[in-house]
Amino acid sequence: MKATTLLILITICMTIVTPAFAQAPVVDSDAIFREVSRRPARPNNEAKIEAMIRRMTIEEKVGQMTQLTIDMVTNGDDQEVKIDDAKLKKAIVDYKVGSILNVNNQAITLDHWHRIIGPIQQAAQKTRLKIPIIYGVDSIHGANYVQGSTLFPQEIGMAATWNPALMRRAAEIAAMETRAAGVTWSFSPVLDVGRNQSWPRFWETFGEDPYLATVMGTAFVRGLEGDNVASGNHVASSLKHYVGYSLPLTGRDRTPAYIPEHALREYFLPPFASAVKAGARTVMINSADINGVPGHINKHLMTDVLKGEMGFTGFIVSDWEDIKKLVTQWRVAADEKEATRLAVMAGIDMSMVPLSYSFSDNLIALVKEKRVPMSRIDDAVRRILRVKFELGLFENAMPDNSLRSNHGRAEYANVALDAARESIVLLKNQSNVLPLSKTAKVLVTGPTADSLISLNNGWTYVWQGSEPGLYPKDKPSIQRAIESKIGDAKFKYVPGTRIVRRANSASNSNPTDIDEVVDISDAVSAAKKSDVVVLCLGEGSYTEHPGSIPDLTLPEIQLDFAEKIIATGKPVVLVLAEGRPRVISRIADQVNAIVLAPNPGNEGGTAVADVLFGDYNPNGKLPFTYPRSPGYLTTYDANAFERVLDSRKLPSFQPQFEFGSGLSYTTFEYSDLRALNAMAPEGSVGVSLNVKNTGSRAGKETVIVYVRDEFATLTPAAKRVRRFAKVSLAPGETRQLGFTINRDDLGYFGLDNKFRFEAGDFTVLVGGQSAKFAVR
């Protein structure tokens, strides 16, 4: 199979047909995708790389393949961590280590970063070949380990914007603020497709649809790497977690997935293939296993597919301690030395060891024993050096003081606020209770009302995002933003319940959030005296193991509290600040409005308040299917059988809210959907429609184009997203949109893992309308 076949799901072309007079721009996903997926020209450093490899000893080569955490070269506490000269010499001079990662425990200042990275690069310059260090951190939703940086919505929130141009701009800012710290490599974006809503890293994804994840993910990569990654404005990206990590059978982190390869190619590989085509420099591997094979020894996926079919020329890095875990967790090797051999021979180029020198010792021994050929070592080193050259590290690896001006600019906060506002999803608005009047008496209550933690989630200043003292004091929570908007006289805040962090009795390293009652009776009393209640529920912060839960249902304390507030008879606006869709079916029909704030970041409090009081017209759309029951987790593209009536005449597909849901304070009308012509063998079919703003205020509408294959050899999906566009419309304004669908966009991967197209009947579905066309 050719590498290009992995990308066919994203090759739809689109044109926008507009009148001659000036109109607000359309966010055309295809136009943006064509731009961000263009692979920039690169300097040819191959001769320099080969010359350097010829000079390198075994120890120097293996050193380049070794990554250690910052703790291995420092001492001191969080705020006073300092380089330890003896540790640094051991790592860089003695073991010739090529990469360092991480922050000690929490975000540090630019000055502190420079004091850490400067000596590390200086030590590298004292080695025989003067090969610079590549330093990596998790800049997940901004430069979240640099104090004072701009934080954006998490990926699930950015997906709810359906705005790849905004995603690209957010990533550009994250890159500038990361590089200003002297860090040149970000472990982002997450390109796992979120097909299991209970997975604790679901919020780190762009949701359940492969096409949306592909467009947004490629925009993220282009924002990070730019056209010249060596410039002071960009960093190398790392696509993670290749591949299939996001569909664990149990829903728990780092547990097995069972995904047939044709399904892997259909749903999970496209975002990675697109980002590789666009030039992404590094890839991080799935910490779990697929079909019984741990990701770190899956030679077929790493070497045959990624490096072979996709043509990936960068390097593959392991995740944290995952070679060791081949022995301790997956038990596919009797000892770490054998695990090292299996991983390197499967395609791992760099090991995130990161707390010992065992990888270096074992791999040097394996090479000397001829159990790992030098050709495999040279291939890995060649890939690592290629990225270092392209980053410009050989010219200047030191932190650049001139880049300080790229950090913390005032205009960055405006971009973050735009993103936060566009991420907010209005899911229910019974009797138009929203927007609220600024003269109404408002009670704000609930465990997420006064929590920046709930608005951000993990990877925020610390790994779990759980330290309230690290959050900026000038960024308001939801309740503070509402108070600022309407004033003290009309505002009251009573917590009711709270979310607290408790150490896990089994492991203090994996604390979990627990709901506690604070003052429910006070909240109920205050509700009775108010005109409306803004009830803020949801989650605290988590990622990876600490976020694994047995049930997606919202905690009982929160549900019980909600029922007591509802029982007052006052209008209730439910605000959900959460990273994954917690089941709310017990209370959803009893509240008057539901607003989803999917980890919108530090500007999320302002964004929620702006939406609640009508200062911003909501336009977010769900990038996932919101379940009604924890026992039935499905996706919008499940096969058509799941949507038919069962033997009791009950609809079997009944999520709480469907994928793509999202209301506005205006209304939109779709009309005149047409499939313009049948396809020639190498031709295309044109689709056109009109979208009109039929309401009284300006608004944005995301037009999602689905296509359904009516019959196929393999059971076809009920529908698939093939295109989207975000349109700004004034009251009464109509836009005509045109899309071009190519034949390749109508195919699928068969059981032979090859892409195929079958002639037949298809249906295009947009905004409640449908049109049929045939391909012969």
What's the pLDDT score for residue 651? 56
Res. 512: pLDDT tops 90: no
Mean pLDDT of the chain: 93
Give CA–CA dist 599/620, Å, rounded: 13
Residue 17 pLDDT grade (very low, low, confident, very high; cuts 50, 70, 90): very low
What's the pLDDT score for residue 648? 52
Give CA–CA dist 39/280, Å, rounded: 9
What's the pLDDT score for residue 678? 58
Res. 6: pLDDT tops 90: no
SS (H, E, C) 322-386: CCCHHHHCCCCCCCHHHHHHHHHHHCCCEEECCCCCHHHHHHHHHHHCCCCCHHHHHHHHHHHHH
What's the pLDDT score for residue 454? 98
Q: Distance of alpha carbon 482 from its chain centroid, rounded?
A: 28
What's the pLDDT score for residue 641? 63
SS (H, E, C) 143-203: CCCECCCCECCCHHHHHHHCCHHHHHHHHHHHHHHHHHCCCCEECCCECCCCCCCCCCCHH
Active site residue 319: yes
What's the pLDDT score for residue 11? 36
Residue 679 pLDDT grade (very low, low, confident, very high; cuts 50, 70, 90): low
Res. 14: pLDDT tops 80: no
Residue tagged active-site, from 138, 192, 319, 745: 319
Residue 642 pLDDT grade (very low, low, confident, very high; cuts 50, 70, 90): low
Give 50-68 pLDDT, tens digit per residue. 999 999 999 999 999 999 9
The pTM score is 0.95
Pairing state between β 282-285 and 238-242: parallel
Residue 79 pLDDT grade (very low, low, confident, very high; cuts 50, 70, 90): low
Pairing state between β 289-290 and 293-294: antiparallel
Residue linked to tokens 């990275």: 117
The proportion of the chain whose per-residue pLDDT surpasses 70, expressed as a percent, equals: 93
Query: 483 phi and psi, to 5 degrees?
Result: -60, -45
C-beta of residue 141 within 8 angstroms of C-beta of residue 190: no
- Give, as one character, the DSSP assignment of residue 309: I
Give 703-723 pLDDT, tens digit per residue. 999 999 999 999 999 999 999
The structure tokens listed for 691 are 């979208």
What's the pLDDT score for residue 20? 33
Burial class of residue 398 in the structure, from the number of CB atoms within 10 Å of its CB (0-12 exposed, 13-18 middle, 19+ buried)? middle
Instruction: Summarize the confidence of residues 14-28 as an average pLDDT.
Output: 52
Res. 21: pLDDT tops 50: no
Residue 283 pLDDT grade (very low, low, confident, very high; cuts 50, 70, 90): very high
What's the pLDDT score for residue 676? 80
Facing residues of 442 across strands? 491, 532
Give CA–CA dist 647/651, Å, rounded: 10
Give 210-223 pLDDT, tens digit per residue. 999 999 999 999 99
Choose the weakest-confidence range: 159-173, 237-251, 501-515, 616-630. 501-515
What's the pLDDT score for residue 184? 98
Give 350-395 pLDDT, tens digit per residue. 999 999 999 999 999 999 999 999 999 999 999 999 999 999 999 9
Give CA–CA dist 280/224, Å, rounded: 9
The structure tokens listed for 747 are 């195919």
What's the pLDDT score for residue 7? 36
Q: Distance of alpha carbon 459 from its chain centroid, rounded?
A: 12
Residue 344 pLDDT grade (very low, low, confident, very high; cuts 50, 70, 90): very high
What's the pLDDT score for residue 483? 98
- For residue 489, which amino acid is it? A
